[in-house]
Structure 1
Amino acid sequence: MSERPGFKTLDKDLGRITHAEVAQMHAFRPVWRLGLSMLALVGVLLIFLALSGAAPGVLATGAGLIVAAWLGVAIGSNDVANSLGPAVGAGAIRLLPGLLLVAGAGLLGAFLAGGAVSDRLAGGIIDLAPVSQGIRGPMVMVAALIGAASWITVATGIGLPVSTSHSIVGGIAGAGAVALGVTAVHWTTVLMIASVWMATPLVAGGLAGLLLAFLRAKVVDVPDRGEAALRWLPGMVATMCAAFAVYICVLTFDGSRLILMQPAAAALAGAAGYGVTHRGVLRELQDHPKKPSTKRLLRPALLIAVVIMGFAHGANDVGNIAGPLSVILKGQVPDWQIGLVPSVILIGAGLAIAAGTLLFGRRLVNMVGSGITKLNAGRAFCVSLATAVTVLGASGFGLPVSTTHVAVGGIFGVGFAREYLDRRRGARHDAMPVEETRRRMLVRRSHVVTITAAWLITLPITACLGALACALVLRATGV
């Protein structure tokens, strides 16, 4: 019996994500054990301080660096498959060069675009001005890092996918409420960030669905796919490259230099993207003139999406480390202004994320690759690009978001768009058994429930853990 489309494609893609999440848990075990060791080491430092009367600033710096380094490794190792998986699966790039490319793009994103999110986390969630010259502010951020790291470690151990960005926001709010009072927390900012967490998956889903509709209308579902690809794909990739180059220029230059550099950078990047894609499409048409593969036609586009996705990941997630760490290190260098994260911290945090990508990314992409990278190349491209654009937009406004949750929103958008287009095309299929229809509905609901539960649970739990850690740290240091 043939199957009606219904939500077949969406269920298939979500099923692959389910298998990928299971594989991801196993691949993440070495980092998880490293997290347990990190928490134990921080605990020993706290006990040592309480017994020896060592300077609180030494503890804050040491504990903050330890926890921040582990979080960077965890972020880099855990999210690399989101960026790299589809391109490796499509054969656009090999694993090792891909890891190097993602690590480099992430580091560049951290340095050029990570300041807004980092500044928001350093001084936008709690008011540190009353304690700007003391050690209490750094201790708040140490406690926030400990609370977030504790929850990520526990959640990973029990198999619950949680977001580092959500955890850090909750940890800062909880620790700040204990150390500085509930009124010191900017609750309107916390609510704004939380609303963005709900909105960004919807935005990514809408963008991914529109991209898929465009690809199918102009390239995939036309009689002569090769000619259509030669007409549309090079220009599409050129536009992507030019827009990304303009974005980089806005981050890097200002004034007259920006006016001069923008057109040149856009022209060069657009020409490079057009040339690479045009050559790749011609090669595919020469090798397979009668039936060109969409997967191979989209290889250059997927490769560009890898770079943009890696950049976006570094731009947004570096703030989870650099923001709190800048407040901690300010206790040792008082000239730093709260809320203004120095470039050296952005680079250091970016290096920690890059180290996680290079050290643990190979195993993760290999294991997840059997699930996520088998997404259709066109759908994978739409999801990757929509996720990158959404995350970069959030980063520009200094809003920390979950890359994984945004990507799953893109998968939903692509799935619903495909099924809608199939129904409009009027294809007739036999009805599925009731049991199969119910099973597929449960697959979709399970993802909605998992993401919603992770979002709802993480913020209050990390706030409580951050508050508890702050109370313990302040008691141990006598601050």
Structure 2
Amino acid sequence: MRREPREYRTLDKDLRRVTHAERAVLHSARPLWRIGLALIFIAAASYVGTSLFAGQPALGILAAGMAVAAYLALSIGGNDVANALGPAVGAGAIGMTSGLLLVAGMEVLGAVVAGSAVTATLTEGLVGSTLGEGEATARMMLAALLAAGSWISLATWLGAPVSTTHSVVGAIAGAGLATFGLGAVNWPAMAMIAFGWIVSPLVSALMAAGLLALLRRLVMDRRDRVAAARTWMPVVVGLASAMLAGVAELAWHGTGLAANAALALACGALGWLYTRRRLRQQARAGAGGRLAMKQLLAVPLAAAALVMGFAHGANDTSNVAAPLTIILDSLSAGGGGDLRARLVLLLGGVGIALGVLLFGRRLVHMVGSRITRLNSARALCVSLATAATVLGASLLGLPVSSTHVAVGGVFGVGFYREWRDRRLAANRPPLPAEERRRRHLVRRSYMRMILGAWLVTVPAAAALAAAMVRFAGL
């Protein structure tokens, strides 16, 4: 066989080396591209805000508030996407990139359609006595925004899924105390919010455990799991679709019980029909065993992740919209009206969605795979419980922590599995203590780390905001 000239072989090697070097540069530059896109969004938000409200007093504070609100929205998106997408990705039911894109879209929709109730609670209820103080109130909220965003970014970098709601509420309280004293905070409202923080993860844990027990009874423990799943999975998707449509209509228009029920039933029927069609396609593909079960559960699991994305947008956008609304009200920027409120919600929703796409991958991996091992069935229970709890809180106007709720659901599933394993092993010889610890399905180290982050978040964000007021001149 004729050998090609040496210079061509050398050139070919050099070209391959250049190609590898170019790929390495592109790979190493990805974080810089993400940060660059985030900075462009922050600058654009500040520019648009100052353009819309040009001629208002204290325009510098307004521009800074818009920029910091955009930064906080990016931080929330990067930190909280794990709540919606972690279980689905951990179970392998949806790809990371496609899941991030779909959830980002639902975040924007939830913010614009159903974000006003919780925003009103945080705006009027938490620091109502400080409203109307002009520039002092605006400076207080600017400090709160900056402190909350800084704390959330630090937690995201450390891989700790802290609560953005805790961060924002703690920062508002700390900035208010440093600016106006003890009377700045509505302590009964603060107590009600804290009560919701305690109850919501417990509700999610119990609901997730109950759903898993029901799913095992109806599907997993049946002799023909595949046939049982084909019967019940369309029902699950139909109920999720009906719940999402009912909540969205009630939050957007609230036209009445009859119209709301009709829309919910129609969307539920469409979800049921779509799932039945997808399952028939999967059946014709001929998959069997574990692969068939994974495919059957993937459709409802993806639907639950989308509902959770909508719920997160509806509830957690208030963490951005409420402080920014107070800044605009304090500076009398642009007057009142529904249009400005929708624009503020849109800014928060788009910022959160962009944060999901740019910075959400790391915590998705942690929540979905490191707390407890999730298969499709367990992940479905976590997602449904989280979505239902957060949507219910959003309807009530209660700013709960979606991180609390999501991780509570993961813990509920893990502890239920431990309880079930102990029950099944009651008639077996007892295992050594070391072996029992090794078989813990909820990793205690991660649970302690997350609980510690929750406990530290409120005082840390409050102290950081107070320090900014005292020492940074905000």
Q: Kindly provide the amino acid, as one letter, of the partner of residue 222 in structure 1.
A: R
Q: What is the letter of the counterpart of residue 279 of structure 1?
A: R
Alignment-derived partner of residue 279 in structure 1: 277
Matches within 5 A, 1:116-135: 116-128=117-129, 131-132=131-132, 134-135=134-135
Q: Which residues in structure 2 correspond to 1:247-266 (within 5 Å)? A: 247-254=247-254, 257-259=255-257, 261-266=259-264
Deviation of 1:213 after TM superposition, in Å, equals 0.8
Shift in alpha-carbon separation, 1:289–1:258, aligned structure 2, 3 A: same
Using the TM superposition, give the Cα deviation of residue 251 of structure 1 relative to its aligned residue in structure 2, in angstroms.
1.3
SS in 2 for 1:223: coil
CA contact (8 A) 1:116 1:396 kept: yes
Alpha-carbon distance, 1:139 to partner: 0.9
Separation (CA, whole Å) in 2 of partners of 1:149 and 1:60: 17
- 1:290 CA displacement: 5.8
Q: Equivalent residue for 2:108?
A: 107
How do 1:144-155 and structure 2 match up within 5 A? Answer: 144-155=144-155
In structure 2, do the counterparts of structure 1 residues 323 and 164 end up closer, same or farther at CA, with 3 Å as the change threshold? same
Q: Which amino acid aligns with 2:343?
A: V
Report 1:325-404 matches (<5 A): 325-334=324-333, 336=335, 342-361=341-360, 365=364, 375-404=374-403
Tell me the equivalent position of 1:18.
none
| Mapping 1:175-214, distance limit 5 Å | 175-214=175-214
User: Are residues 170 and 416 of structure 1, via their aligned partners in 2, closer, same or farther at CA, if it must alter by over 3 Å?
Assistant: same
Residue type at the aligned position of 1:150: S
Distance in 2 of aligned mates of 1:193 and 1:339: 26
8 Å Cα contact 1:226/1:285 also seen in 2: no
Higher relative contact order (CA 8 A, sep 6+): 1
The 1:339/1:145 distance shift into structure 2, 3 A limit, reads farther
Contact 1:218 1:228 survives alignment (8 Å) = yes
Q: Distance in 2 between matches of 1:165 and 1:302?
A: 26
Cα 1:370–1:379 change in 2 (3 A) is closer
The normalised TM-score by structure 2 is: 0.80
- Once residues 325 and 367 of structure 1 are traced to their aligned partners in structure 2, the CA distance between those partners, rounded to angstroms, is 31
RMSD over aligned Cα atoms? 3.6
Alpha-carbon spacing, 1:149–1:372, altered in 2? closer, same or farther (3 Å): same
Label 1:300 to 1:441 Cα distance change in 2 as closer, same or farther (>3 A): closer
Aligned to 1:298: 297
Whole-angstrom CA distance in 2 between matches of 1:141 and 1:447: 33
Quickly say closer, same or farther: Cα 1:395–1:148, change in 2 above 3 A.
same
How far off is 1:353 after superposition? Answer: 0.7
Report the CA distance between 1:278 and its aligned residue: 1.7
Judge which range, 234-243 or 218-227, deviates more. 234-243
| CA deviation vs aligned residue, 1:341-375 (integer Å, no higher than 9, x gap) | 71110011101111112233457657877658961
1:229·1:281 contact (CA, 8 Å) conserved in 2?
no
Work out the CA distance in 2 between the residues paired with 1:61 and 1:226.
Answer: 57
**For structure 1, which runs of at least 5 residues remain unmatched after alignment?**
1-27, 42-54
C-alpha distance after superposition, 1:219-275 (max 9, x if no partner): 110112222223222223212222222222211223xx4356324322321122111
Is the alpha carbon distance of 1:151 and 1:96 closer, same or farther for their aligned partners in structure 2, counting shifts above 3 Å? closer
Alignment of 1:86-97 (within 5 A): 86-88=87-89, 92-97=93-98
| % identity of equivalent residues | 47
Q: Which runs of 5+ in 2 are unaligned?
A: 1-29, 44-55
1:464: which partner in 2? 463
Q: Provide the C-alpha distance between the structure 1 equivalents of 2:366 and 2:213, rounded to a whole number of angstroms.
A: 31
Distance 1:340 1:184, change over 3 A: farther
Contact 2:126 2:186 in 1 (8 A): yes
Q: Distance in 1 between matches of 2:261 and 2:156?
A: 46
3-state secondary structure, aligned to 1:350: helix
Per the TM alignment, residue 70 of structure 1 is displaced from its structure 2 partner at its CA by 1.2
Structure 1: distance between partners of 2:373 and 2:135:
51
State the secondary structure of the residue aligned to 1:333. Answer: coil
Contact 2:126 2:190 in 1 (8 A): yes
Aligned positions, number? 432
- Report the Cα offset of residue 446 of structure 1: 2.9
CA contact (8 A) 1:75 1:356 kept: yes
Q: Find the residue that maps to 1:79 and give its secondary structure.
A: helix
Distance verdict in 2 for CA 1:416–1:306, change over 3 Å: same
| 1:449 aligned partner | 448
Show the counterpart of 2:322.
Answer: 323
C-alpha distance in 1 between matches for 2:184 and 2:90 = 48
CA contact (8 A) 1:122 1:339 kept: no
Counterpart in the other structure of 1:10? none
- Tell whether the 8 Å contact from 1:405 to 1:451 is kept in structure 2 after alignment: no
Aligned partner of residue 124 in structure 1, secondary structure: helix
